[in-house]
Structures are given as structure tokens and as C-alpha cells.
Amino acid sequence: MRLISLLLASLFLTTACSAGQADIQSNIEARFPGAKVKSVTASPVAGIYEVITEDNQIIYADGQADYILVGEMLDTKTRRSLTKEKQEDLMKINFDDLPLAQAIKTVKGKGERRIAVFSDVDCPYCKRLESELAKVDNVTVYTFLYPLPMHADAPRKSKLIWCSPDPSKAWDDFMLRGKLPEHGKTDCDNPVDANLALGQQYGIEGTPAIILADGKRIPGYLPAAELEKRLAQAGSGKAAQ
């Protein structure tokens, strides 16, 4: 009888917990028209729930969503940002899901490690990143041409580079030396529009945007030493293809 009572108590607690999480979702969506809640889970803090919205924003709420908190949750013992760690997980991209045929492939050394970069030809920080990548060895870099709307001539330059006989060399020539292909063309079959759609799908709003082999995303420029550190942490993934 005691075992049955314990099982019933456990079932009651599970049901109550689920009901509370359902209340949080329904109350947030009712009180904030247009908001869509993707998940509700208990946080490490008693009575506080982690709420993830459809656009991968993280907020915290009490058991009825009468009160919500926006900001970072920190673990003071370890000095870790639990919010940042969760956000990184939400932003992960399965590297093998990337359409690598739409990217310029550059193999440095053995190319055993992999990295993908969404890059704009007229982005100054993208050019700084290329200078740092030139110092990194044993990596295969997949560059997705991603001209931002603020750079009116970037689509033309991107197509000139893609349509050249050697896109990898043309990319390096322009990003490192400011030299565009001579007598080039822009009307070949190119992935620029497809890359823009892909970036929007992944929520990429700025360049450079780096994706490591383990799926972690790094927004912005990094120096070579930090890139080496991140590449080592990420591992190689599969062999370059």
C-alpha cells in the first residue's frame, strides 16, 4: 500500500508540474499577443521557470507567469552564465546540415579541422578575420558569400569572385590584397541568393558569423590565437569533403 501511495504521489506531482508549465505558456501567450512559447522547463532556482520563445529568446517566469524576468541567470559558485550557455545551445547549427556546395572551399595544410564563415566582401571585420585565418593551419574553411544590404556593391563583387576560375584564390586576392578578378563575369550560376536565404533561416544578421565543427556559432571577428583555441575545443568533426 505504501508503494502504491508513493507512486500516486509521484504521479500527482508530475501532473501538477506539467499543469504549471502549461499555465505559464498559456498566460504568456494570452498576455503578450503574438508571442509563441516553444518550451517551459524548471530552472535551478526553486519556483522559477526557464521559458524559450519561438524566436529562441530566453526569459524567466514564476509558476503562473504573473512575473517575468529578462536578463542573465548566473551561477555564483562557478561564475557561469546559465543563460549564455543555453543561448549557445539554441544557436547551434549541425555542421553536416550546411549546404557546403554553396560555399567557397579553402583547404589549409591537411585541412583536418572544419570551419564555416558567413562573410561579406565589403565588411571590414570580415577582412580582418581573413588576415587571422591566414595564420591558421590544418583547417578547411567554407566561406558562404553573404552580402549585407548596407553594402550595395557587395552582391556584384561576390558574384565576380564566385564566377572566377578559382573562387578560393579570388576570395583571398580580394580580401587580403583588394584585387578583384579582371574581366570577370557575374552571370554564372551562383549561390548568393541561396546563401542570403540560408542566413535568414539561421538568424544570421551580421558578418562575419563563424560556425565551428561542433555546431557552436561565434558572432564576429576573432584573432588567430582565439580561433586556434576554439577549433581545438570544437574538434575536427568529419574529414574535409
Residues 84 and 104 in one domain: no
Q: Are residues 156 and 51 part of one domain? A: no
Q: Is the domain of 37 the same as that of 153?
A: no
Task: Give the amino acid at 155.
Answer: P
Total count of domains within the chain = 2
Q: Are residues 87 and 120 in the same domain?
A: no
By DSSP bridging, strand 58-61 and strand 68-69 are: antiparallel
CATH number, position 42: 3.10.450.70
- 121-158 pLDDT, tens digit per residue, is 999 999 999 999 999 999 999 999 999 999 999 999 99
In this structure, of 51-60, 101-110, 162-171, the range with the lowest mean pLDDT score is 51-60
Q: How does residue 236 score in pLDDT terms, banded at 50, 70 and 90?
A: low
45 occurs within a structural domain:
yes
Please state, for a pLDDT cut of 70, what percent of the chain lies above it.
89
Same domain, 87 and 99: no
* Structural domain containing residue 117: 95-234
pTM: 0.73
Of 37, 61, 91, the position where a domain reaches its end is 91
Instruction: Tell whether 240 is covered by a domain.
Output: no
Q: Kindly give, in sequence order, each residue whose CB lies less than 8 Å from that of residue 172, ignoring residues fewer than 6 positions away.
A: 106, 130, 134
| Whole-number Cα distances in Å, 145 to 27, 123, 133, 198, 218 | 42, 11, 16, 11, 17
What is the spatial distance between Cα 19 and Cα 63, in angstroms, rounded to a whole number? 10
- Here the cell at position 195 is 546563401
Residues found in the chain: 241
- pLDDT score at 6: 37
User: Is 61 exposed, middle or buried (CB count within 10 Å of its CB: 0-12, 13-18, 19+)?
Assistant: buried
Q: Do 83 and 99 fall within a single domain?
A: no
Strand partners, 212: 115
Residue 214: partners with Cβ closer than 8 Å, 6 or more residues away = 92, 95, 233, 234, 235, 237
Of 41, 72, 91, the last residue of a domain is 91
The pLDDT-based confidence of 11 (bands split at 50, 70, 90) is very low
pLDDT digits (tens, 9 = 90+) for 69-92: 998 999 999 999 888 888 777 778
Q: What was the pLDDT predicted at 142?
A: 98
Q: Is residue 86 part of a domain?
A: yes
In our burial notation (b when 16+ CB lie closer than 10 A, e otherwise), range 103-113 reads bbebeeeebeb
Judgement on whether residues 161 and 186 belong to the same structural domain of the protein: yes
